[in-house]
Chains A and B, each alone.
Chain A
Amino acid sequence: MTPVTTPSPSRRAEGPSGTAEGPGPEEEQALQARFDAAVAAEERIEPRDWMPDAYRATLVRQIAQHAHSEIIGMQPEANWITRAPSLRRKAILMAKVQDEAGHGLYLYGAAETLGVSRQELLDKLHEGRQKYSSIFNYPTLTWADVGAIGWLVDGAAITNQVPLCRCSYGPYARAMVRICKEESFHQRQGYELLLALTRGTDAQRAMAQDAVDRWWWPSLMMFGPPDDESAHSARSMEWKIKRHSNDELRQRFVDICVPQAEALGLSLPDPDLRWNEERGHWDFGAIDWEEFRQVLKGNGPCNEQRLARRRAAHENGAWVREAAAAHAAKHAAGGPRRSATAPAARSRA
């Protein structure tokens, strides 16, 4: 991390709030009260506001994990860019994978307002000290997997993310607004891709069913452990980082997917799936949480491969990043090479 040369806007000219030289106990109580009131009143917390250390740590962990998921999530889909079966699909897929890099950037940017650098977060990812969504540790075996990821994985992600647009932390909420707006095409393209397959040849239909069979359960796991086992849920809800419980969101997702699967003419691989008139929801079978834990622990089919590839990209790029930094340092002496914004900027916005 290089806090001196690349300070985040939140930390410029000031130490982090609530550190060694932070406020005394009484003052801290007052700050805490002000923070609580702001959260309760649905005001946004902004980078330079005082915030409890645990709130900051929770946000860093969650935003980093989210950012890591975006960039690791590029891999399973990029796996099919070079084999996309039509030029239209090739363009869509490239644009989608590119969006994921962009979303990673928005999120790392949001995390950086909390006083951590992107480099620090990437190091933690590369060393396996921070997680990414375990869904990306499953392989994309056929073209239909691209569709299943769009429909189910992005669908689950959107169900999770839409409430985050109202998250109490301003920069995270703003990043999510941008991301949700851009992602609306991701889910649709996946559904449309599957639709084309189900309306196609027998082989294409079989491919689509096989992909949905493999991605359905891992998608349900994306909402995280059941509410009574979720370590961080309650406090995140209190802080309005999170707005709905894992189980609530999972149920919402299942209810949305069942009719969509029907419209595709595909079945969902759950014999216990049935409409519950009383609850007004779809009942579904038990999730294999042991599988979830195993994948989370690093034993999924692609954990090693995904991380190795990420590390390789980073390491192979080191000389490029160094070269550009060296070039900038050489040319910094004479001031900026060319100010692209100078006239407008000088005359004030």
Chain B
Amino acid sequence: MTATVPPRALATLPLGDDALVLSHRLGEWAGHAPVLEEEVALANIALDLLGQARAVYAELAEVLGSEDEIAFLREEREFRNCQLVEQPNGDFAHTIVRQLFFSSYQQPLHAHLAPSLPLAAKAVRETAYHRDHAEQWTLRLGDGTEESHARTQRAADALWRYTGELFQPIEGLDVPWEELEEEWSATVGDVFARAGLTVPTGPRRDAWSAGAGREGVHTEPFGRMLAEMQHLHRSHPGATW
């Protein structure tokens, strides 16, 4: 459905897909969180993100159809989210580092877009809160117990390879990408330093390590995620829910 549309008309689609996919992943935590207070916190973030996705899809309705068509009827290769957000939850440290990496990107990205994009202006307040959530937890896990430190470092090392993709320019979005990456590196570096964690040095830009989610190339877990997310909707073509 996206193949025939000029890319500039779809400039915001990656923002919506990032938000939808991460929201879905956070939704998988329901009933599994390490403490009840965190059930509420993770759900709040998931709901914010879902709201952001719906706002993006609403504006794309003329080009792509209803929000549900966009979410439930596109094929995997039509999704434009980065690979970072589709990564499975793993343990709580894995989820928190994913949150830190993503929110440290999404927050300044929305800030850059806010003047020209109303939906980014609304989201920027939410994402600042998400970033703080991730930061507070990274500090506690990194500088908590030996076990929590090891788990968090492991998560950072594993997710690092998906961070290079974040700064590949998205056509049609007026963002100073290099500046964005500098901001991101400063934020993550600062939080890691205070948490006693080491910023990974592994590859994130090489041809074989760089993610290509923005071009519709995803990792294996994403297909399974979509299968679960879309199955009911697709089982009843044309039905209203």
Direct contact of A and B (CB under 8 A): yes
Which B residues are in CB contact (< 8 Å) with A327?
Answer: 139-140, 143-144
Q: Closest CB of chain A to B196's CB: distance in Å?
A: 10
Q: Which residue of A lies closest to B42 (CB)?
A: A98
Residues of B within 8 A of A108 (CB): 36
> Which of B31, B229, B239 has a CB less than 8 Å from the CB of A200?
B239
Q: Are B44 and A98 in contact (CB under 8 A)?
A: yes
* A85 to B66 alpha-carbon distance, docked (Å): 13
Q: If the complex has contacts A101-B39, A324-B140, A330-B143, are A81 and B228 also in contact, measured as CB distance less than 8 A?
A: no
CA A104 – CA B226 in complex, angstroms? Answer: 31
Instruction: Chain A residues near B33: list those with CB within 8 A.
Output: 101, 313, 317
* Inter-subunit contact B32/A313 (CB<8 Å): yes
Q: Tell me which residues across on chain A come within 8 A of B239, comparing CB atoms.
A: 85, 200-201, 203-204
Among B36, B72, B140, the one with the most A-chain Cβ atoms within 10 Å of its Cβ is B36
On whether the beta carbons of B30 and A74 are closer than 8 Å, the reply is yes
Instruction: State the CA gap A52–B71 with chains docked (Å).
Output: 57
- Tell me which residues across on chain B come within 8 A of A318, comparing CB atoms: 34
A319 near B145 with CB under 8 A, answer yes
A237 contacts the other chain (Cβ, under 8 Å)? no
Contact B34 A320 (CB under 8 A): yes
Min CB distance, A96 to chain B, in Å? 10
Of chain B, the residue at the smallest CB distance from A108 is B36
Q: CA–CA, A318 to B57, complex, Å?
A: 39
- B 54-110 contacts with A by CB, 8 A: 54, 57, 67-68, 71-72, 91-92
A82 is contacted by which of B27, B36, B43 (Cβ under 8 Å)? B27
Q: Determine chain B's interface SS by DSSP, over half rule.
A: helix
A248 to chain B, nearest CB (A): 33
Q: Is B133 an interface residue (CB 8 A)?
A: no
Contact of B40 among A85, A102, A320 (CB under 8 A): A102
Q: A83-B229, A327-B139 in contact; A97/B50 too (CB < 8 A)?
A: no
Question: Which A residues fall within an 8 A CB radius of B?
Answer: 71, 74-75, 78, 81-91, 94-95, 97-98, 101-102, 104-105, 108, 143, 193, 196-197, 199-201, 203-204, 309, 312-313, 316-324, 326-328, 330
* In the complex, per-residue mask of B216-241: 1 if CB is within 8 Å of any chain A CB, else 0: 00000000000011011100101111
Contact indicator B232/A319 (Cβ below 8 Å): no
Contact of B30 among A83, A87, A94 (CB under 8 A): A94
**A320 CB contacts on chain B under 8 angstroms:** 34-35, 38, 92, 141, 148
Q: Which residues of chain B come closer than 8 Å to A322, judged between CB atoms?
A: 144-145, 147-148
Q: Scoring B residues 158 to 192 as 1 if CB is less than 8 Å from chain A, else 0, what string do you get?
A: 00000000000000000000000000000000000
Q: B43–A101 contact, CB under 8 A?
A: yes
CB distance from B124 to the nearest CB of A (A): 20
Closest to B24 in A: A82
Chain B residues contacting A309 (CB-CB under 8 Å) are 31-32
Complex alpha-carbon distance, A84 and B236, angstroms: 13
For A104, what are the chain B residues with a Cβ–Cβ distance below 8 Å? Answer: 36
Interface size classification for chain B: 35 or more
Out of B28, B34, B67, B151, which one reaches A317, CB within 8 Å? B34
- State the B residues within 8 Å of A (CB): 20, 24, 27-28, 30-40, 43-44, 46-47, 50-51, 53-54, 57, 67-68, 71-72, 91-92, 139-141, 143-145, 147-148, 151, 228-229, 231-233, 236, 238-241
Instruction: Contact check, B91 vs A87: say whether CB atoms are below 8 A apart.
Output: no
CB-CB under 8 A from B50, the residues of chain A are 87, 90-91, 94
Which residues of B lie under 8 Å from residue A75 when comparing CB positions? Answer: 31
| Contact residues in A for B51 (Cβ distance below 8 Å) | 91
Q: Are A94 and B27 touching (Cβ within 8 A)?
A: yes
Task: Give the Cβ gap from A315 to chain B, nearest Cβ, in Å.
Answer: 10
Q: List 8 A-B contacts (CB under 8 A).
A: A85-B241, A199-B240, A309-B31, A320-B34, A322-B145, A323-B140, A327-B140, A327-B144
Cross-chain contact of B68 among A71, A87, A143, A196 (Cβ < 8 A): A87
Q: How many Å lie between the Cα of A318 and that of B92 in the bound state?
A: 11
How many Å from the CB of A325 to the closest CB on chain B? Answer: 8
Please measure, in the bound complex, the distance between the C-alpha atom of A143 and the C-alpha atom of B240, giving whole angstroms: 13
**Min distance, Cβ A88 to any Cβ of chain B, angstroms:** 8
| Chain A residues, Cβ within 8 Å of B91 | 316
Please list the 10 inter-chain residue pairs (A to B) with the smallest Cβ-Cβ separation, ordered nearest first. Answer: A317-B34, A323-B144, A323-B148, A98-B43, A101-B39, A320-B34, A78-B30, A327-B140, A86-B241, A85-B233
**Closest residue of A by beta carbon distance from B43:** A98
Specify which of B28, B34, B47 lies most central, judged by the most chain A CB atoms within 10 Å of its CB. B34
- Given the complex, which residues of A lie within 8 Å of B43, measured CB to CB? 94-95, 97-98, 101
Contact A201 B236 (CB under 8 A): yes
B91 CB to nearest A CB, Å: 7
CB pair B229–A323 under 8 Å, yes or no, is no
* Distance from A312 Cβ to chain B, minimum over Cβ atoms (Å): 8
Is A94 a contact partner of B47 (Cβ separation < 8 A)? yes
A82 touches B31 (CB 8 A): no
A-side contacts of B240, CB under 8 Å: 196, 199-200
Residues of A contacting B20 with CB < 8 Å? 87
